[in-house]
Every structure is written in C-alpha cells, then in structure tokens.
Amino acid sequence: MKTNQKVVIITGASSGMGRATALYLSKQGFIVYAGSRRPEKLFNIESQNLHPIKLDITDSKSIKEAISTLDRVDVLINNAGYGLVSTVEDVTEEEMFHQFNINVFGVLRVCKAVIPTMRSQNSGIIINISSFLGKIGLPLLTFYNASKYAVEGITDSLRYELKDFNIRVHSIMPGFFDTNFARDNLVINKKTFEEDSAYSTLVSTLAPQIIEQINNGNNAIEVAQLILEIIEKDDFVAHQTAGDKAKKFIPMKRELSDEDFERRVIAYYHL
C-alpha cells in the first residue's frame, strides 16, 4: 500500500494498542514516530519506517523537543493512558491529579504542540484513544471514567475548533482488550483493596470480573486496523467503538433510559 509517506505520531507506543498500531502503520508505509518515556523499549522494532522517540506527555518541554524535529505531522494518535482503581472516599490528591495529568492534560498538551503544524499544512488528523468507559460509569473506576468522559468532550469541541483548518478529530472507544492493561496499566489505591475496607464486597465482586475481561479481551490489532480506516476515510464518524464490550454497552446506553441501563449494568456485574 502507498501512502505518500504520511507522518504519524503515537503517544504511549511502548506497549499495547500503541505498539500494535506503530508496527501496523509502519508496515503499511507510514513514517511512524513512536513516542514513549522509555523509547529503548521500542528499539527492538525500530525500522526504516518506525522511529522510537522520547516523549513524556506530562512535560511540555519534552513534547516540544519531540515535535520540533519533524517537518510535518499528518496524524496524531493520543494513546497514552492508564486506569486508577480507587473509591472516591479513599483516593489521594496525588492520585487524582496524576490520573488527569496523563489521561486528559497529556492529550491537551500534545494537541497544543501539534496543532500549529497541522494548521500551517491545512491538513491533519487527530485520533484520541478514549474508552467505552468514556460513555458509561463503573464503580472503582470513577477517575478513569471521568478522564475518558473528558477525552470525549475534548474530541467533540476540537472538531468544531479545527474544522476550518481541514483538521479532522476522532475518538476510538475500545472495550476491554488483551493489551497487558490489567497487568501494567491499572494502578490500585491500597486502602480501597484492604480486607477491612468498607468497599471490600464491591472490590471482591467487581475487580476480578474486570481483570478477567481485560485479559480475555479483543486483540489490539483491531484498533490498529480501525485507525487505518479512519485515516483513509475523510467522512469517518466522530466516535467509533472497538471490541465486544464497547459494541454491546454503547448501543445499549443509547437505547435505554438511564435507569434501565443502570439496572442492566448492576445485573451484568452482580453489583
């Protein structure tokens, strides 16, 4: 496939969906700059089309330095993120801030750095990796939920803000994917998970189900393929689900009243 060597930047590319997408797009002919705080984790897949770069989305200077080396940016994929598992009662100020610093402010920092280049080109595509939990809530994941709701809001607003510059903005809302997310990208609040926690029944009921669903989830290549489809179709929809859980829950959320949907979730997860 020929793509006229379009340039792609991916954040959080050292594992999971980011790594799968970097590999997939590079093999399709794109020039991929795979960003990570630890780019050495990508050296084993480095190629003529795939270039690991140091990119810390919590550091504006790091972002600026990474972007400044590129003559153009055709596609930005905001993929970096993690999930905090905590009750609202137990969470610390540091945990709250860090969840939003990565999942929300990181997206905004990278967009802020890349938009001037795209605007000067009068072209570009921004794809935000959100979550189906950016449309529905689950207990213990309040802060992850809220951060992904924010990503959905950023996507909606940027679509208006950037349309006059021929810059498309989209979000992908994955369900549960087998991407080492449960092993590497879930951070737990220790107090919530203590045996004598007031929420111990909720934790023992829900947490094993979520981990099992992640570890037995869809393959990350599905997201990579969807990203390519978004890049190639100028009229692609604003928000797209990926994976079995997202395709089940998001339509259900749209079709049912809030009360009926809540009852379905409670029954499904035995809450």
From the list 86, 130, 147, 171, the catalytic residue is 130
Active site residue 61: no
Alpha-carbon span 172 to 25, nearest angstrom: 16
Exposure letters 198-219 (e unless 16+ CB within 10 A, then b): ebeebbeebbeebbebbeebbe
Q: Which of 6, 135, 148, 245 is catalytic?
A: 148
Token couple for 141: 């994941």
Q: CA angle at residue 183 from 182 to 184, to 5 degrees?
A: 100
14 is catalytic: yes
Longest CA–CA span in the chain (Å) reads 59
In the set 36, 86, 131, 144, the catalytic residue is: 144
Give the pairing of strands 50-54 and 31-36: parallel
Could you list the beta-strand ranges (E) of the chain: 7-10, 31-36, 50-54, 75-78, 83-85, 124-129, 167-174, 186-188, 239-242
Catalytic hit among 6, 14, 36, 197? 14
Distance between CA atoms of 136 and 116, rounded to whole angstroms? 33
Dist CA 16 CA 3 (whole Å)? 24
130 annotated active-site: yes
C-alpha–C-alpha distance, residues 115 and 252, integer Å: 35
**What's the rounded Cα separation, in Å, for the pair 254 and 248?**
11
Active site positions, annotated: 14, 130, 144, 148
